Amino acid sequence: MLSKADAEAVRAQNRRLVIDHFRHQPVSTRRRMSAVTGLSLSAASSIASDLVRVGILSESEPVDRQRSRGRPEVGLHLRGAAASVAVLKISVGEIAVSLADYQGQVLAALRRDVDLSALSADAFVALARSVLSDGLETLSPQHGPLRQVVATVQGVTDGAERRIIWSPILKPRGIDLATPLEALTGARVRVLNDCGVMPERFRWGNEIGSPDFAVLFIGFGVGMGLRLSGRTFRGAQSSAVEFGHLNHIPGGDLCRCGNRGCIEAYAGDYAIWRAAKGASPSLFEKRVPDAAMKDLADAAREGETAAVLAFERAGEAIGYGLGRLFTLMDPLPVVFIGSGAEAMDLLEVSIRRAIKASAIDGIGADTPFVVMSDVDKVTLEASTTLALAALDEAFSTAASGPVEEAAE
Amino acid sequence: MLSKADAEAVRAQNRRLVIDHFRHQPVSTRRRMSAVTGLSLSAASSIASDLVRVGILSESEPVDRQRSRGRPEVGLHLRGAAASVAVLKISVGEIAVSLADYQGQVLAALRRDVDLSALSADAFVALARSVLSDGLETLSPQHGPLRQVVATVQGVTDGAERRIIWSPILKPRGIDLATPLEALTGARVRVLNDCGVMPERFRWGNEIGSPDFAVLFIGFGVGMGLRLSGRTFRGAQSSAVEFGHLNHIPGGDLCRCGNRGCIEAYAGDYAIWRAAKGASPSLFEKRVPDAAMKDLADAAREGETAAVLAFERAGEAIGYGLGRLFTLMDPLPVVFIGSGAEAMDLLEVSIRRAIKASAIDGIGADTPFVVMSDVDKVTLEASTTLALAALDEAFSTAASGPVEEAAE
DNA sequence: GAGACTTATTCCAAGCCTCGGAAAAAATCG
DNA sequence: CGATTTTTTCCGAGGCTTGGAATAAGTCTC
C-alpha cells in the first residue's frame, strides 16, 4: 500500500542513502558522499553532521593524503560502537554464534557441538539461549548495545520470521525461537532459513554483477536463496524457495521430507550415496561424512560407473530444477556452495544438459555459474549483513538520535 | 538503487496517493480523500485543486445528497478526457482493439479475424498497425490524447516490453512491435505476454482478498500471471512465468514448444484431446474447437474412460506445476480462466491431489480456487488497467500540468 | 614567515511542502 | 433572516533541500 510522504520521510530517505553509501565506501568524506548520492553539498553535510551527532558516524583522519593543497577532507565512517548484532547459526551438529559491531567488524565467534536430534522444543530453546548467552558474555561496555539478532536454521521458517515451522534437524515443529531470544537479549530477533539469507552476503558488493541471482547450496540437503531485482526473496507465509523439495519426478525417490521425487532425493549427499552404493533409504537419518563424499567423488573421477551415474543423476535433478526455476522467473546467474559444489566438475555437464532440456528454447543453459567455498563463513557473513541492513533501516527512520543523545 | 528525495518527490508521492484513491473510490470528495489517504485536509485540498487545474480531476455535483445540513461537498472524479489508452490483443484467429478513456470508460472496441500463421514480420506489423489504426479512427477530438498502448500476445516477450521474442502463433521471431506502433500513435507502447497481464484485472478491486495470487489460463495453451506482494511479477529479461512450459515429466510428452514434458503437453486442449483420442502429435498445428472440447468434457462426465483419464492426467500436470510453484514461492490463491476452466469439475480433484503429492507437507492443497469466465474480456480489462496505471504514474511525477495548461 | 591559492565545510536566504488552526463559504433549520 | 453545520480555503509555522557566499584549514611561493 502506498503511504504518504512529508518532510520527515524525505530526511529518512536521504539518511538511508547516506548510510548506504558508507556500506559501499567504508571511509568517505562529505564531499564525495554528496557527489555519489546526488545530494547537494549542503544537504549531504547537514545529514552527515547529524549522524555524527547522534553517534552513527565517526569523523577521523582522511585516508587519502595525496592531494596536498587545500583544506584537508574530514574522513567519515560508520561508528562501530553505534550498536552490535549477533547471528546464530543452527545446523546439524553444532550451534555457532558470531557477533559484529555496526561497522561489520567481527567481535567474537564461538561454536558448540550439540546433538539436537532428540531435544524437546523447550530443551532446544534453552540450549539456543545458553549458546547465545555465552556469546554475549564476550561483549564489553565499550561495544554498542545489541540491537539485532538473526538466527538461521535449515528448514521452513514462518513469514513473520519468528518460528521454525519445520526443520529436518529437529523433532518438534512450530518452535517460537524469536520470543525467548528477544526476552534474553532485548534486541529484535529474526528467525530465517539458512539458505534463504545467503544472497545477503552479496548485498553490498558487486561480485555477481547482477541484481538477480540465485545461491544454491548442495550438501547434506539442497537449498536456495534468491535475489530478485535487488531484493532477497521471501514468501508471504514462510521462508519459501524450498528448491531442495521442488518435485523433480512425480512418484520418484523417497526424500527426507516424506514426499517422493524431490530434488534433494537425487542430489543431497545421502541421495548420491544411496544411488552409488545402493544403501537403504533410512540412510538419511544421519549425515554422510564429507570425507566419504569426497572419496565417492574421487571414485567418479576415476570412472567408477556407479559413482559417475550417481553424480550425473544428481546433476540432472539440479538442472531440471534450475530449468523449471528459469521457466518461471528467467535465467539467473547461480552461485554454488556447499560440499556438493566441490564436485561441480562432475555435475556441471549434466546440470547444463538438463537445463537445456527443461527450459523453453533451452534458455539459461549457458547462465554463469560461480563456485564458492566455506559455507559456514558465507552464512555467518550473510546473516550479519542482514542484521546490519535492518539496523541501517532503523537508524534511517529514527526521528531523533537512535543511539545516544548529543550530550556525551 | 536508492534515490534521493526532495520536496518534489514528496508532492509526487502524495499525488500518486490521491490518484490511486480515485481508482478505488471513483467519486469522492476532498474531505473523504484526506481521511482515507491520511493527508491533512489542507494538503489533500491543495493537491486536489492542483489536479483539477491541470485537468486530471473534474469537479461535479456530489452524489450523496442525504446529509442535509452544512456546505455540500464537491464531488471529484478522474477526468476521462485527460487522456485515452488503447489495448491490442493478438491471438490465434483475431486481433482485438479496445479504447478507453482515463476514467476507464470503454470508448470503442473492434476485432478483426486474421490468419497470422504464415505472415512475415513486416506483414504482421503492418496488419497490427492497420487494426490499431482502424480503432483510433473512432477517437474524436473530445476524447483525450492517446497516451498509452498495451499490446498482448501469447508467447514470450522481452523485458523491455517492446518485442515478441517468440510466439506459437507467429512464424518470425524477435519482432519489434513497439517501435512501429509508437511511430503510428505517438503514444508509449508496451508489448506483453497475455497471461502475464491478467493479474492487473484485479489491481484496484479486492475480489481475491490477497496481495498474492496467480491467474492460471487453461485453454489451447496454458499460461500464468503472478501477483506477488501487490506487484505483477515480470522476469528481468522476458515476460517469464511460462507456467505452461514448466517441465512436468523429464522426457515426457511432446509440446508445441519443441521440448518434452511441459505442462501444456498434458493440459493444453490439444494434449487432452490427443490423450483421449490418440490423435497424432501434429495435432497441435491447429486449435481444437471449443465445442469439441466441450463434447469431450461431457463424455468424461458421463464416465467415458479415455476422456476421464485424459482430464485426470491434465489435472495432475497442473497440480504438480502448482505444487512446484508453491514450493518455490508459497501457496497462492489461484484464479482459473479459459476454456479449460470450464472443466474444473473434472480437474479439481486431481489438481489438489497432485499439489498434495508435490508440495512440502502437502501445503497449498487447500488453497482457494476461483473460476472466472470470458477470458477475452478479462484480458482486455487487464491490459486497460495496466495502461491506466502507467498513466497514473506519469501524471503523478509530472512536475507541471501533464494534460493541458491552466488557461482553457 | 607572510600572503596567495586551494579545497572542504558550513552558513544563510529562498522556495516547496505539509500541518494545524482560523476564516470563509454554502447549505439547512428554526 | 439569523443560527448552525459541514466543507473548503487561507495563512503562518516549521522542516528539508538548494545554490551561492562565507569560513576554515592546509600548501605553495616569494
> What's the grid cell of residue A338?
556447499
**Chain B partners within 8 Å of A159 (Cβ):** 330
What does strand C contact on the protein, if contact means CB under 7 A?
A 4-7, 29-31, 41-42, 45, 48-49, 67, 69-74; B 7-8, 10-11, 14, 38-43, 46-47, 68-72
- For B374-408, what is each residue's pLDDT tens digit? 999 999 999 999 999 999 999 999 754 444 443 33
What is the full per-residue pLDDT of chain A (408 aa) written as tens digits? Answer: 689 999 999 999 999 999 999 999 999 999 999 999 999 999 999 999 999 999 999 998 765 566 668 888 899 999 999 999 999 999 988 999 999 999 999 999 999 999 999 999 999 999 999 999 999 999 988 999 999 999 999 999 999 999 999 898 999 999 999 999 999 999 999 999 999 999 999 999 989 999 999 999 999 899 999 999 999 999 988 888 999 999 999 999 999 888 899 999 999 999 999 999 887 655 555 678 889 999 999 999 999 999 999 999 999 999 999 999 999 999 999 999 999 999 999 999 999 999 999 988 888 999 999 999 999 999 999 999 999 999 999 999 974 444 444 333
Task: Write down the pLDDT at residue B60.
Answer: 86
Longest CA–CA span in chain B (Å) reads 75
Contact B320 A250 (CB under 8 A): yes
Could you give the CA distance from residue A384 to residue A362 in angstroms, rounded to a whole number? 37
Strands B146-153 and B188-193: parallel
Q: What is the pLDDT of residue B61?
A: 73
Hey, what domains does chain A have and what are their CATH numbers?
Answer: 7-78 (1.10.10.10), 83-199+377-397 (3.30.420.40), 205-373 (3.30.420.40)
Asked whether the predicted pLDDT for residue B142 surpasses 50, the reply is yes
Q: Are A10 and B7 inside 8 Å of each other by CB?
A: yes
8-state DSSP, B400: S
Q: Is the pLDDT of residue B284 over 80?
A: no
Q: What is the CA radius of gyration of chain A?
A: 23
Kindly give the residue spans of alpha helices, DSSP state H, lying in A199-330. 264-267, 269-277, 290-301, 305-329
Give the separation between CA A108 and CA B329, rounded to whole angstroms.
35
What pLDDT score does A268 carry? 93
| SS3 of residue B348 by DSSP | helix
- Give the whole-angstrom CA distance, residue B309 versus residue B100: 44
B92 vs B223: CA distance, rounded Å: 14
Contact A327 B13 (CB under 8 A): no
Q: Mark residue B77 as left, alpha or beta (left: phi above 0; alpha: psi -120 to 50; beta: remaining).
A: beta
Query: What pLDDT is stored for residue B407 in this prediction?
Result: 35
- Cα-based distances in Å from B182 to A92, A311, B92, B102: 59, 52, 23, 19
Contact B332, B229 (CB under 8 A): no
B152's enclosing H/E stretch is: strand B146-153
**Amino acid, single-letter form, for residue A391:** L
Report the DSSP beta bridge partners of residue A260: A254
Q: CA–CA distance from B31 to each of B28, B50, B281 (Å)?
A: 8, 15, 63
Nucleotides of C under 7 A from a protein CB: 5-13, 15-22, 24-29
Name the burial class of residue A218, with classes exposed (0-12), middle (13-18) and buried (19+) by CB atoms within 10 angstroms of its CB. Answer: buried
- Which of A20, A42, A206, A324 to substitute to test the interface with B, most B CBs within 10 Å? A324
Q: How far is CA B342 from the centre of its chain?
A: 20
Element of type H or E holding A108: strand A106-113
Residues of A in contact with B17 (CB under 8 A): 2-4
- At B281 the pLDDT is 56
Shortest alpha-carbon distance between residue B376 and chain A (Å):
24
Cell numbers describing residue B227: 501477483
Residue B382, all three cell numbers: 487487464
Of all residues in chain B, the percent with pLDDT exceeding 70 is 94
Q: Are A112 and A131 in contact (CB under 8 A)?
A: yes
Chain B residues with CB-CB distance to A323 below 8 A: 247
Whether A302 contacts A290, CB under 8 Å: no
Q: What is the DSSP annotation of B247-304?
A: BSSTT-SB-TTS-BSBTHHHHSHHHHHHHHH---GGGGGSPPPHHHHHHHHHHHHTT-
Name the nt closest to B11 by C-alpha to C1'. C17
User: From CA B196, how far away is CA B194, in angstroms rounded?
Assistant: 5
- Mean pLDDT over B76-97 rounds to 96
Chain A, window 20-39: residues with a beta carbon less than 8 angstroms from a chain B beta carbon: 20, 37-39
Partnered with residue B281 across adjacent β-strands are none
Half-sphere exposure of A403 (CA within 13 A, CB side): 28
Q: What are the angstrom distances between the C-alpha of A238 and each of A160, A271, B145? A: 8, 26, 46
Secondary structure of residue A290 in the 3-state scheme: helix
Residues of B in contact with A361 (CB under 8 A): 166, 257-258
The amino acid at residue A73 is E
Is B97 in contact with B132 (CB distance < 8 Å)? yes
For chains A and B, count residue pairs whose Cβ atoms are closer than 8 Å.
Answer: 158
Contact A4 B38 (CB under 8 A): yes
DSSP letter at A244 equals G
HEC per residue, B186-236: CCEEEEEEHHHHHHHHHCCCCCCCCCCEEEEEECCCEEEEEEECCEECCCC
